[in-house]
Amino acid sequence: MATKASRSAARIMMAPAVILLLGWMLVPLIMTLWFSFRVYLPLRGGDQGWAGFDNYIRFVTSSAFWPSVQTTLIIVLGVLVITVVFGILIALLLDQPIWGQGVVRILVIAPFFVMPTVSALVWKNMFMDPVNGLFSHLWRFFGAEPVSWLSDASLPSIIMIVSWQWLPFATLILLTAVQSLDSEQLEAAEMDGAPWHKRFWFLVLPHLSRAITIVILIQTIFLLAIFAEIFVTTGGAFGTRTLSYLIFQRVLESQNIGLGSAGGVYAIILANIVAIFLMRIVGKNLD
């Protein structure tokens, strides 16, 4: 159906978006790559020449590197487990006939629309403050010693805050998937006497597997990059320095651009590994 004229028109219409994104991707990427091979300290002498792979080696051998990788993994895995498990449970619950379903849905989804700085600060102060936070009141009520959440249990606290933000996303996507499940199949299994856990394991879970994979991949990409939640709560202290926060500190706080850029290249490679899997699924869906 496409004529030659409409083909060239299509190309022209596509051009602005493609050119802009190409520039947005290539220019900073090439600069980061370039800086990563330089000794570049803007506040202490500027660009001091070629560094070879020194920055790459120094970044991974610095004492802060492995703890930051560990922190990143704990936060990402913790949030993934919590959001996927509770997301499935809440999705299955919301799929049942209940009164006021629409309202409950809105209540569950609401946290996703709260800006990261607000949710982090509300949790930090009004819930996790060791003196005046709601948790400290609750702890005292049960006769326990209040916990200094963000310093003594910093990682669980961050995981809690971030999970609260991302649970709506997981729930909503899994709910969409649950709703497309064939109810006749389930009823048939029920009539054949399959107990609920078998129905869940052999019918519901396989049906959800694609949605679960998508939730995991998309969240991983966003979770690898969480920033504001750490920036306004601990500022990277108390063992909450993730890989991306470490890079941020190297670049903007200690102004060691070469080192930070090498870290940035590692982060880009890491994100791309996850992205490849996501693209495969999304790409299959396009055909």
Partner 1 sequence: MARSVTPRRKLINTTIAWAIGLLIFFPILWTILTSFKTEAQAIAAPPIFLGFEWTLENYRVVLERSDYARFLWNSIIIAGLSTLIGVAIAVPAAWSMAFVPSKRTKDILLWMLSTKMLPAVGVLYPIYLIFIELGLLDSRAGLVVVLMLINLPIIVWMLYTYFKEIPGEILEAARMDGATLPQELLYVLTPMAIPGIASTMLLNFILAWNEAFWTLNLTAVNAAPLTAFIASYSSPEGLFFAKLSAASTMAIAPILILGWFSQKQLVRGLTFGAVK
Which positions from 125 through 154 interact with partner 1, judged by CB under 8 A? 125-127, 132, 134, 137, 140-141
Tell the smallest beta-carbon distance from residue 105 to partner 1 (Å): 7
Nearest approach in angstroms of CB 52 to partner 1 is 19
In order, the DSSP letters of 135-168 are HHHHHHHTTPPPP-HHHHSHHHHHHHHHHHHHHH
**What is the CB neighbour count within 10 angstroms for residue 57?**
12
Q: How far apart are CA 221 and CA 278, in angstroms?
A: 10
Q: Which residues pair with 50 in a beta bridge?
A: 38
**Nearest by Cα to 241 from 260, 252, 227:** 227
Whole-number Cα distances in Å, 199 to 83, 84, 183 = 22, 19, 12
Does 87 participate in binding partner 1 (rule CB under 8 A)?
Answer: no
Stretch in the footprint of partner 1 (CB under 8 A) among 21-29, 45-53, 58-66, 67-75: 21-29
Q: Which positions from 196 through 255 interact with partner 1, judged by CB under 8 A?
A: 210-211, 214, 218, 221, 224-225, 227-228, 231-233, 244, 247-248, 251-252
3-state secondary structure of 50: strand
Using the minimum distance from each CB to partner 1, give the nearer residue, 78 or 217. Answer: 217
**Using CB under 8 A, which residues numbered 90 to 109 contact partner 1?**
90, 93-101, 103-109
Determine, following the binding rule CB under 8 A, whether residue 43 of this chain makes contact with partner 1: no
Q: Note whether 29 binds partner 1 by CB under 8 A.
A: yes
CA distance 198 to 268: 41
Does the footprint of partner 1 cover residue 186 (CB under 8 A)? yes
